[in-house]
Structure 1
Amino acid sequence: MKGYDCVHCRRCMQLEASRPLYVTLRRKRGRDAVMVDTTTLSCSSGCFQAENTHPGVGAATVAAEIRRSPRTRLRWRRGRTASAMPRLQLATDAAGNGLWERDIAGGALWHSPGLQTMLGFTPGEVPATVDFWRSRIHPEDRPAVEAALAAHLSGGHPRYECEYRVRTASGGWLWIRDRGRVVAWDAERRPARMMGRQLDVTARKRMEEELAESRLQLDAILDNAPVGVLLVDRDRVIRRVNKSVAATFQHRLEDIVGSSARLIYGDDRVFEEIGERAYPRMQAGGQFDEEVAMRRADGADIRCRLIGRSVKPGDPERGYVWVVQDVTVRWRAEQALNDRAGFQRVLLDTVPVPIFVQDVMGHYVDANSAFERWMGIDRQALFGRTVFDLAPPDIAGADEAVDKALLADQKPQSYETQLRCADGTLRDVVFSKAVYCRTGGKPAGIVGAVMDISERKRAEQALRERQQLFEQIFVSSCAVKLLIDPVDGRIVDANPAAASFYGYPLDRLRSMRIEDINAAPTTMVRQELHQAGRAERRLFQFRHRLASGEIRDVEVYISNIVVHGRTMLMSLIHDITERCRAAEALGRKTRELERSNAELEAFAYVASHDLRQPLRVITSYLTLLERNLGGSPGGSLDEEARECIDFARDGAQRMDRLIVDLLDYSRVGRKAKPFRPVPLDEPLQLALLNLEVAVQDAGAAVSVEWPDEGMLPMVAGPTVAGDDGELMRLFQNLIGNAVKYRQPGRPPVVRISVAPDRQGLDQPGKAAVWRIDIRDNGIGIAAGDRERVFGIFQRLHRRDEYEGTGVGLAVCKKIVEHHGGRLWVDDPPDDDLRGEDGRPCGSLFRLVLPALDDATRQAGFAHTGEARIRS
């Protein structure tokens, strides 16, 4: 028997312990075979077929052969190992798992009985093919399965693992978790066989879906909850909020999450107090419920009801849940309700109209001070009495009859009568009465007011007299007047002046409509009438057509008057044809001036470029001439020639600077940016930064003094409306001049002070201004030259003494005037800046700039104290 080996089932390639296995032993030299009957190996599908079996050879013969051949013993041991597979399969089925094995090359796919049962099939019912299994996979999951399998077979992943849905025998879907790996390779090291297991994870998937659904429901509940919900940790850091919290406190959700709960409290004291009282109570399992003052993102204080509980009492790591309800409206309503009784009492006593209150039996229960004064009786003495105790029987009887009718139909009543007051005067009055009811609508009493209409009666008589006077004024006035019905545009009335202006007889004019004389489209006229009828506009401008056909521009002032209960439009017409023609001519002149300015500006740019170009050529050739004639040894330039070249170069450079200064002067006010609120410290500090080198070279001391906070609280901080670039150039020129025009041998001192101008602020219509003083200890300016220094090209010193073109101060004055201010030179004050003779030295430049109005400035001063900059 030597040379025989054991083979597996030819159909399913599997061995299991369930029935006898007929193992075919082949001999290498021949076709002799033996049949071995063993109870340890069998095929679960019952598909074994014996080949050339020989019943004459028994197990003892085979065993003897196995003992003689080492190779046979090895294969026998492998067979014994395979005998453990049935026990593993039984354990896997008992755990609810399934095993599978795939022949990659042959396309066979075997499933264990447990896996087949898990899918609703009977063992042996599932075909052992890959195509059948692929057809059972959910179409949406099939690409993921094939991708995971391909990644494993290509060596990209050490094992194959995927979760997908499989259709069961009943048509339902089962979630399984599939895991496996290659266990055998062919001679070319290609995957030949895979094994794996499958686990039913449907229950887990359902739990995950339910958990996701639960989370969605929770999110929907939180997002749609009418109250705010917060989850904070033990450190009072907000971990989750809903939209109501963001809406209540006007913060963005992303700004709230991760922030301290201090964000929504009014102040630190409230935050700390709530923490000290609430959290110990919640940790012990209790609930915190109070109304607390809190604060929104815009700084507004609100009132909120806070309800807090621990997620798990005794475990602060789980956090705390807070419910926030904005009760500001209710809290204010309660406050108003608490104050209403006192307010009503004060209101009743403040109202000058006599008011009284009666119950359903006609007894007086309350009255105000005006009623006491009217009747001459104290309200305490009035309590419990009736109208028969206060008035004659005839008046009291009529009043009682009215009260009974009022209580019966509960409709407010108002009627006129006469009443004798405490001083005995008989006056015309109006009684206004209404029923007040208890909850449920049952009448509780009557509230009445006594209105003295004696003055109104006299006023009605005066009104009738004024009506007559109005008619006379309307008719006799020389101004064009029309009375128009705003409903249909009909001219109800017109005065003789209107007939004369329009050229129509009065009867014809009174039968026309406003559309007949207004040249505007009918729809526009109707719209203007509607606006005038609702008093939305008073002044209009139209083009009216006269009887002659001439069109005149008119300005119409319309006011509403009531005539016999109807609202009419009283129109006062003024002929402005000549004024409109003058305005049109002025507009043409303005446009022509704008065009001329634009051409002048273009000319200035071209001229500046064309004028500076020859100067550059002159400077370049002078430099080249000096280099060629004087730079080499034995040059022919003497000192006089060099001096001439220097004079020529200096003149060209001064001419170039003069052209640049003229261009800057022409640009002031025309090329400025739109005005904006500019704090004065910004251009001032920038100017000092630009002059830093000049200040250091001169050894100057520059200081800036700002206004104190309490100087003038009604004026805003040092802020003006202007162009920051022009303001910086203004300060730079003035401070630079103070440093440049210094006295030889005297260290320059420049003092800048900014203060509100107090003069004239108490006068009506006086605008607030900021005054800026620039004081120096330089050479000063004579009184006769203080106006001349602001002229263009005006210099007080020779160029060899002080450089300059004489344009700088002219530019400064133009900038200040462009900003609506004023610049001048004043006498030096009597301060500590004095010359060698002991008298005040230097100069004082003063300028005022309009401060921002209340609509654009911020309250208070933006800067306080004193800032000093010294070199």
Structure 2
Amino acid sequence: MVEDCGPVTISQGIASWLKEYDFHAAGRCGVCPHFLPDEWKRGPAATMVEATTLCPPSGAGAPSAIAARKPRVRLKWRRARQDASVPRLHLATDAAGDGIWDWDLATDAVWFSPGWQTMLGFSPGEVPPQLDSWSSRVHPEDLPLARTALQAHLSGERPFYESEHRIRAKSGDWLWILNRGRVVSWDAEGRPRRMIGTHIDVTARKRVEEELAESRLQLDAILDNAPVGVLLVDSDRVIRRVNKAVAATFQHRMEDIVGSSARVIYTDDRIFEDVGRRAYPRMLSGGQFDEEVAMRRADGTDIRCRLIGRSVKADDPARGFVWVVEDVTVRWRAEQALNDRAGFQRVLLDTVPVPIFVQDVMGHYVDANHAFERWMGIDRQALFGRTVFDLAPPHLAEADEAVDKALLADQKPQTYETQLRCADGTLRDVLFSKAVYCRTGGKPAGIVGALMDISERKHAEQALLERQQLFEQIFVASCAVKLLIDPVDGRIVDANPAAAEFYGYALDRLRSMHIQDINVASRAEVDRELRQAKRAERRQFQFHHRLASGEIRDVEVYASNIVVHGRKLLMSLIHDITERCIAEEALRGKTRELERSNAELEAFAYVASHDLRQPLRVITSYLTLLERGLGTSLDEEGRECIDFARDGAQRMDRLIVDLLEYSRVGRKAKPFRPVPLDEPLRLAMLNLEVAVQDAGAAVTLDGLDGLEGGALPVVAGDDNELMRLFQNLIGNAVKYRKPGRPPVVRVGVALDRQGGAPVVRIDIRDNGIGIAAEDRDRVFGIFQRLHRREEYEGTGVGLAICKKVVEHHGGQLWVEGPPDDDLRDADGRPCGSLFRLVLPALASPEEPASADGKARDRR
């Protein structure tokens, strides 16, 4: 029985071929959809036989027109159709890159298309048309599977034959082939007689699949063997994948935790929400979240974990997020215990009254107790990083360094005497006891030392031996004028030769005199000063001393108490300051004269500016009257000359006003008072309101770093001068703008410290035309203009006034290039400039200014 086999839909190339054949060229008869017999397999050029001879009778009721067709006419028509379709079939299969095979199951003869042969590197016609040409090239490992799939189709288990297998090309390389086919005709007993199929080269896809499978295996191996937990979480914070370390860390089964909310591994909802609020925006922007967080196991045990999270792809939450979880509970508890132990050790060390210090192997001080701080007079933070060379003279430091090297070499405790310099510069005799402390493994980590101040003992031991030599070197042989005075009655006990030469008395005569004999002050005043010196209430005095010649000299006396043979005396070091006093008096006179001259000059400047501006007003007025009087009779050139003259007069007037304002900075200012920066900034912005609106500028106040409640800090100064300062700087930022670019001005205020004193740092950032690096210092000079007047108006005095105002307030003003922020030009480069000024800050509005009305120097 011949069965209807239906349409063959093997590939796009076969579909196109069947369409061109219009059933007849594909081997179907003209009456029914049955396939033609084996004559078609001789090749596309073979003569095709009458299909109706193979078709079963169509019944007694078949149309008589079909039976009446002449076989020769129909055969001729079909040959013409076939001859026209075969080239298009070849083109279609070659264009698709597929191969076609046609297998006669009775003879095992196979027709291989040119594309099939070239796919394997053969030339068309080079492959013998036998089934063995295919089976001999299939990989031995794949051939049984291919035959099994073929047998399943031939037996009717599967509607199509389909198999992926390797086949050896002519070059010897193995190609992966997707082999598909279908039986298209059967014999009278229903056995498959003919089969048609395609070969598709899927080598590239198989390699990609193999690489992908290898990558997945590697990823699975990495995840399963990773010592830390790895989770894949979606945008809803639902866990999609975990590795074994996660299950072990949190004691959950992997199948239980996958698909659950990440909330199950957190201690409470507050921590879960807090991590989500802070981490996910950062990860979505391409950043990384890395923090230690309290989490919880399945049994309710709280643990400490380090969370590291990143987005699989930034700005694409659908890709999910990767979290690395490391259980740091043991380390965290060890650190807590270590911190507790360190705290105990710190209290213990600070309780011990013996000065103790710690050095590393390089000799740098890394720690000390309170006793050492008190003994040295230096804070342990200031001591950190110093060496013995910073505390002792070079020769003592070198000896101490040699001892430390020997100690680190043999690691035996040592005790020795040396000297050490304290923070006040004095050398102390000390007894050192040192020992080495080691790391795990016995490697030296540093030296722990304790010291005892033996200065008093050493001084007592050497006092009698050194007294005479010390007296000779310090008192007698010194060129400085020195007197040894009894504070009880003022008698001069001793004097050095320099004193005898200065006062003009012989030493014996001087040693028999009283201090009242050379001090021109009254006796009561001298006695009072002696009592103050004896009680160490004062150490420095200034007197008028009379020489033997009768000349009066101004002297400065430094007095200190000493004990000689159990007797308390005053050691007086005397400096002749007569010339200095004369110079100071002359300087005070010059200062008074300069102040008077400056006042007269300022008055002159004011009068001169007033008198100079009056003629300019007259010129401007008469130019206006002249222009109005001439009216239409004034030609364009004359009108231009009048405009030039009026513009020159107006610029001269502005220049005079700016010069007057420049001269007044720091002179006509009010006494300094605490000024919150809100006041001058608000007034400056009010004055600039029209200019800002006309320019379409955006002026913002931001960057209030370190300011409580966002309130601007307080400085000591003149509010009018500060207002002019901000008005000039912000006005310049608006005025010197780039055409076509809306001005943006940002005023940032932050608290800072310089030299330990609080300061206010104010940044004025703009996106204007900027200032070249070589002009950033010159721009603060008076009359320094960087642009022509027709480009930007101005007199070149504004920034000079700003610098003078800032310096009057004890601050600094400078300009920097544009920082790397979001203010950029059309090419994406940073644009504009940054004016930065620093002013001394007041800790509170009640903090007073200095006595002379100027700000204290807090820098």
Same fold (TM over 0.5): no
Report the TM-score when normalising by structure 2. Answer: 0.43
